[in-house]
Amino acid sequence: MKPTEKHIIDKIKKARRGSVFSIEDFLRFGSSKAVGKALERLVEKGEISRIARGMYARIKTHDLFGEIQPTAEEIAKAIAKRDKARIIPTGVMALNVLGLSTQVPLNIVYLTDGSARTVKIGKRTIKFKKTSPKNLSAIGTISSLIIQALKELGKDNATENEIKIILKHLKKEEAHRLEHDIKLAPEWIRIIMRKALNNQENE
């Protein structure tokens, strides 16, 4: 085993199963070309799996289901980390993460301040859509998701039950983050978010 390959496999084995890596994670062990070749050799040996162009994973295994591939969300976060970019899931993905929809989208869209691109993961695609800094300025993980989910539902389209679920999620958001993010939402979404903030203040 070549030194570059040994360093890479040592680092991978220290990571939890399911971890996603890019070539950039190993550049301290060699040039981009040397690291790329080492990773391909490890794929051939079955040590790791190639999940997308330039992206690899240490696959999880399950007694009943066998190999379990990383989720699209895990892959998207790894790409964002590699590109030093911010991302926010939109549309059906945001609804799914919040439990407002059971639909698992084949085509996932993230807003980003990084490069616009489309990444194919088997039959699924992850699309990174360039957006303005304002759309990525939310500091609350929950409240940023809520804003995107409500935009997907549309004004006046959220049911009583959906509003109930949304308020339950927002209850877990830190008040200062919620206060900050309310200012970034359209007025009709602010009304819903203010209910959560008022509930926190009254408790």
Place of tokens 């919620």: 178
Q: Are strands 49-52 and 55-57 parallel, antiparallel or unpaired?
A: antiparallel
Main-chain phi, psi angles of 66, to 5 degrees: 75, -135
CB of 148 closer than 8 Å to CB of 133: no
Assess whether pLDDT exceeds 70 at residue 201.
no
Residues 6 or more apart from 154 whose CB is under 8 A from it? none
Residue 203 scores a pLDDT above 70: no
Going along the chain from its start, the domains and CATH numbers come out as: 3-67 (1.10.10.10), 71-135 (no CATH), 138-202 (no CATH)
Amino acid (1-letter code) at residue 44: E
Instruction: Transcribe 162-178 into DSSP letters.
Output: HHHHHHHHHTTS-HHHH
pLDDT digits (tens, 9 = 90+) for 26-84: 999 999 999 999 999 999 988 889 988 889 998 777 777 777 788 888 899 999 998 99
Residue 103: per-residue pLDDT:
84
**pLDDT exceeds cutoff 80 at 202:** no
Q: Express each pLDDT in 76-129 by its tens digit.
A: 999 999 899 999 998 888 999 999 998 888 889 999 999 999 998 888 899 999
HEC string for 19-58: CEEEHHHHHHHCCHHHHHHHHHHHHHCCCCEEEECCEEEC
